[in-house]
Structure 1
Amino acid sequence: MCPVKPLLTPCIHKGGPALWRPLKVGLVIALIWGSPSGAQQDGISDTSRSNQSDQQIIRLEREPAPSRASLSALARVPEAVQITLLVQDLTTGKVRESQGSLTPMIPASTTKMITAAAVVADLQGIGGWWSTELTLPRSEVGQSAVSLLTLQGSGDPTLSLSGEQNSIQLLAQQAAAHGLTRVGQVEVQQTVDPDSWKEAVIDTPMTAFMPQEWLAQRPSTVEEMQGAVHHALVAELRAAGITVEDDTPSITPLADLSTGTSDTSEGLASVQSPALARILAETLRPSDNLLAEELLTSVAAQPDGTGTLQAAGERAIRLLEGWGVDTRQLHLADGSGLSRDTRLTARALVDLLDVMYRTGGTGQTYADPLQVFLQGDNPYAEALAHAGEGEDKYSRGGTLFARLRGSGLDVRAKTGTLPGVSALSGYVVGQSGHPLAFAVLMNGPEDSPILELRAAQDEWVQAIAAQY
């Protein structure tokens, strides 16, 4: 095992390799300066502040290092693998164990936790939804024949081409019900820069409209995707009895959105997605890479933004920063975690878990978050994989269905795996009855034994649950 090693000393055991353990040093540092400044450092927490005239004293205590039991659980990890971790008691707020918690690491699919939470923040709560609309020129409101009909979307990954709910078919039927009989031209508004998503490792065309019918097999190019959506809309309008004079595919260039079409258009028909909680579970439990990227495109689908992958990642981080998540060292290169360029910290993941424990993503703080959590009523916690449950990754157990079976523990977490990378982050109820938020990130050579890393993580989760 090769952890971050501040203040470490070798501990030699007969018949075995050297292990590393923290020096048991009670460390309190008093810093005095003339103006306030941030006091949080890696592995160090601000414990008290007091003002003396124009000076400020901040006393810092080093966060507790991993216990002997935790180090023993992680001892099987090869020395070439770097480990960072953090454990926090969510009832008391006390950090129980910390090691390199602000060190940026490749997080693999634990990235999806960040992506999902950013969407919750963007939609102003887990009860939010995406909407898709048909708009017409404001000057033509109330007319049965209009010159232009525009399809405007928000990156809804649950939209369908046909069906009685949340579909392009329903939009067309609503337009007919409002008295529309003739359309000169139909256009599809592009709010995502598809070229930028070519940088994503998933290597799949991404646009603002990706209907459910494409989950099995989607068009191979952005142009085909945009043309298919336009064709479907024209066909549904005609099926609803509306004449479309010009059916030539028309896609609004992303750059044209800066002219502010919302000031000159009016909504005619609208559909909305189901509540967000369902799609989060469908993304997080089985670790669906495509859905995660679609979630990030919804963050990018902003008429006043650039719609690029880079801008979406930056905006996602800003959204979480607004919740109080420590976003230092974070970089989102994609929404799924397939990219080895993404960087997260154990601190950011635990901060996020803390926020979600207290609010569930509802935007309101629970009066009794423990009871909500234990009763299974916290929607974000429930969207995570439940260890040892179900028969495959599409069950409630998600990617943890075969792990920690028989442990008797209540573990709800997200896994992450790439060559040489293994991560686990989530909740476990400790022996005290308190939920613990934890994150452990392991980065090593690409030939690192992933099964051994997972086994060490499982043993470590059992160790922290038994201690705290």
Structure 2
Amino acid sequence: MREARGSRSRRDVRHPVWTWVSTWVPTLLVLALLVAAVGAYRFEWGQRYLPGLAADPATEPEQVLPPAGLELPDWTPASADADPVDTLAAIDPEAVAAALAPDLADPDLGRHVVAAVTSLTPGPAGWSTEEQRYLPASTTKLLTVGAALAVIGADHRFTTRVVRGDRPRDVVLVGGGDPLLASQPLSLTEAATTYPARADVTTLALEAAEALGGKAPVRVRFDDSLFTGPTDNPAWRRDYVPDDIVSPITALMVDSGVEPDGQSRSDDPSLAAARAFAEGLRAAGLQVTGQPRRVVIPPGAEELAAVESAPLSQIGERIIDVSDNEGAEVVAHHVGIAMLETGSFEAGATGVLEALAWRGIESRGDEVYDGSGLSRRNRVSTATVLQLLQHAASPEGEDLRSLVTGLPVAGFTGSLTYRFAEGPAVARGLVRAKTGTLTGVNALAGIAVGRDGTPMAFVLAADRTRPENRYDAQEALDRAAAALAACRCGA
């Protein structure tokens, strides 16, 4: 042992620099690469794999500092004779084509690039590529939220109830399909910065315990029968639910089906919600026996307590802002109930297209299989999306307005917070768009305001990109949208 230590000591003395280099440089390089990777893809990885580094979705939109070097003028009150933005302004198709051409020709976008731009109001001619159908990915959420606002109503709230069961000691948690139902109440600090507000089953348990009174043991049952059919969409990839890409969809979910560890997703979100409710009853001083069980409660059961969600208009804003897959699917199920009296994936997808047609938005030839855009079978025309954006921005579409106000702002909020690092800096704040991303698919759909003040609705998509070019394709579309903001495209 002494000789071995002595030999090692002599090697250290003879090669101190080489030892330091061989030991620490690889480690430092790995750390540097990790830091670079986290910085580059913070939003994409954060919510799923690195939640500590992600922008907190509960507090979006978050404050983002202005870009380096940007000097803002002193604030002055608006003059009484200021000209409003001309929402009726037509666009110059040739100017649009010239602005978009360089970035749409980027080879990283692959073999199928689709683009369309028009004025913010119907009527004036626009510009588009010859091919207009595309795989929409998460831009599908625009259709889902628009349809829900049209047929359910912007002011509608979803109610989660507690009723008496068939047996004297049974209390039943009844799911009302609240997309943002939480397991725990927010702290005062969280509540002050969270939008929209959340209902939660712990507060519901406290109210139910007060209504029950006494200390008699109770048994928890739960009813999630508002939704029917499979909880895993047959039109999704088979690994999405098993690999925790998305939760099973039920009418009784807390925390979007995410387990308390923040990493995995529950195999049975309704059961997980009932367990959280049971813990709330225990915290309120009631004795809870046994395990929660699924039941179906007949109409007319005595209500003990209830909590309501935020209005659908606010829920829709959040779904669009942070691209909430579970929220979009729950809302689509409600569209199915409103249109076809069935809360399922199939009814929701059919109901969305029927609701848009009922509102005068032409969707003939479109194929939609889900509410979130996770399905690779979806095919949508750019004309459908542009009509919906135009309608939501028009005086007649006031009840759909949150479709526009929920759009992420380039470089500042939601799924665009960490994007638009390239291209004209003027795009930051002047492009609002819903993102769409699947393997081989990148899309943007929203509104841009040109350098001359011309507002434009646009759709930009590439749905046959190489996986290794994913982020280069994304940046190419960002540059194209930024080119619209830098363009004097008014007619």
TM-score normalized by the length of structure 2: 0.64
Deviations 1:233-256 (CA, angstroms, capped at 9, x unpaired):
334334435566x64432136xxx
Decide which of 216, 221, 235 is 2:267's aligned counterpart: 221
Decide which of 427, 437, 444 is 2:457's aligned counterpart: 437
Decide which of 100, 104, 111 is 1:74's aligned counterpart: 104
Decide which of 354, 376, 382 is 2:405's aligned counterpart: 382
C-alpha distance in structure 2 between counterparts of 1:97 and 1:252, whole Å: 55
Say if 2:207 is the partner of 1:174: yes
C-alpha distance in structure 1 between counterparts of 2:126 and 2:339, whole Å: 44
Report the 3-state secondary structure (helix = DSSP H, G, I; strand = E; otherwise coil) of the residue aligned with 1:425: strand
Change (3 A) 1:339 1:433: same
C-alpha distance in structure 1 between counterparts of 2:342 and 2:325, whole Å: 23
Partner of 1:231: 275
Decide which of 348, 352, 356 is 1:316's aligned counterpart: 352
8 Å CA contact 1:120, 1:361 repeated in 2: no
8 Å CA contact 1:287, 1:399 repeated in 2: no
Q: After superposition, where does 1:297-336 map in structure 2 within 5 Å?
A: 297=333, 299=335, 305-336=341-372
- What amino acid does structure 2 have at the position aligned with 1:89? S
Partner of 1:413: 433
C-alpha distance in structure 1 between counterparts of 2:173 and 2:369, whole Å: 29
8 Å CA contact 1:389, 1:401 repeated in 2: no
Deviation at 1:426, TM superposition (A): 0.3
Deviation at 1:304, TM superposition (A): 8.0
Deviations 1:235-282 (CA, angstroms, capped at 9, x unpaired):
4334435566x64432136xxx8xxx33x3343311112344554444
Say if 2:151 is the partner of 1:132: no
8 Å CA contact 1:386, 1:412 repeated in 2: yes
Say if 2:426 is the partner of 1:398: no
Deviations 1:74-93 (CA, angstroms, capped at 9, x unpaired):
23347962233322212563
C-alpha distance in structure 2 between counterparts of 1:180 and 1:122, whole Å: 40
Say if 2:193 is the partner of 1:160: no
Decide which of 133, 136, 139 is 1:107's aligned counterpart: 136
C-alpha distance in structure 1 between counterparts of 2:158 and 2:220, whole Å: 22
Change (3 A) 1:242 1:107: same
Say if 2:223 is the partner of 1:189: yes
C-alpha distance in structure 2 between counterparts of 1:239 and 1:451, whole Å: 47
Deviation at 1:347, TM superposition (A): 0.9
Report the 3-state secondary structure (helix = DSSP H, G, I; strand = E; otherwise coil) of the residue aligned with 2:118: strand
- What amino acid does structure 1 have at the position aligned with 2:457? A
Deviation at 1:290, TM superposition (A): 4.3
Report the 3-state secondary structure (helix = DSSP H, G, I; strand = E; otherwise coil) of the residue aligned with 1:433: coil
C-alpha distance in structure 2 between counterparts of 1:432 and 1:318, whole Å: 37
Report the 3-state secondary structure (helix = DSSP H, G, I; strand = E; otherwise coil) of the residue aligned with 2:180: coil
C-alpha distance in structure 2 between counterparts of 1:275 and 1:436, whole Å: 28
Report the 3-state secondary structure (helix = DSSP H, G, I; strand = E; otherwise coil) of the residue aligned with 1:427: strand
Deviations 1:152-178 (CA, angstroms, capped at 9, x unpaired):
222213212232762222223223444
| Percent of pairs with identical residues | 27
Partner of 1:150: 172
- What amino acid does structure 2 have at the position aligned with 1:322? W
- What amino acid does structure 2 have at the position aligned with 1:88? T
Say if 2:461 is the partner of 1:427: no
C-alpha distance in structure 1 between counterparts of 2:100 and 2:168, whole Å: 68
C-alpha distance in structure 2 between counterparts of 1:291 and 1:88, whole Å: 29
- What amino acid does structure 1 have at the position aligned with 2:159? S
C-alpha distance in structure 2 between counterparts of 1:83 and 1:207, whole Å: 36
C-alpha distance in structure 2 between counterparts of 1:294 and 1:455, whole Å: 31
C-alpha distance in structure 1 between counterparts of 2:294 and 2:315, whole Å: 28
C-alpha distance in structure 2 between counterparts of 1:183 and 1:119, whole Å: 41
Query: What are the ranges of 5 or more consecutive residues in structure 1 without an aligned counterpart?
Result: 1-62, 365-377
- What amino acid does structure 1 have at the position aligned with 2:404? A
Change (3 A) 1:399 1:408: closer
- What amino acid does structure 1 have at the position aligned with 2:403? Y
The structure whose RCO (Cα within 8 Å, separation 6+) is larger is 2
Deviation at 1:124, TM superposition (A): 0.4
Query: RMSD of aligned C-alpha atoms?
Result: 3.7
8 Å CA contact 2:248, 2:267 repeated in 1: yes
How many positions carry a matched residue from both structures?
A: 371
Change (3 A) 1:417 1:295: same
Deviation at 1:72, TM superposition (A): 4.6
Query: Is the deviation greater in 180-189 or in 85-94?
Result: 180-189
8 Å CA contact 1:356, 1:381 repeated in 2: yes
Partner of 2:295: 252
Partner of 1:11: none
- What amino acid does structure 1 have at the position aligned with 2:419? L
Say if 2:140 is the partner of 1:95: no
Partner of 1:268: 304
Higher strand share: 1
Change (3 A) 1:301 1:402: farther
Partner of 2:11: none
C-alpha distance in structure 2 between counterparts of 1:413 and 1:453, whole Å: 16
8 Å CA contact 1:80, 1:445 repeated in 2: yes
Say if 2:105 is the partner of 1:85: no
C-alpha distance in structure 1 between counterparts of 2:171 and 2:136, whole Å: 43
8 Å CA contact 2:431, 2:482 repeated in 1: no
Change (3 A) 1:71 1:214: same
Deviations 1:98-149 (CA, angstroms, capped at 9, x unpaired):
3347x43211221222233334335401x43322112347xx9xxxx94643
Deviation at 1:439, TM superposition (A): 0.9
Deviation at 1:456, TM superposition (A): 4.3
Change (3 A) 1:193 1:277: same
Partner of 1:43: none
Say if 2:223 is the partner of 1:207: no
Partner of 1:42: none
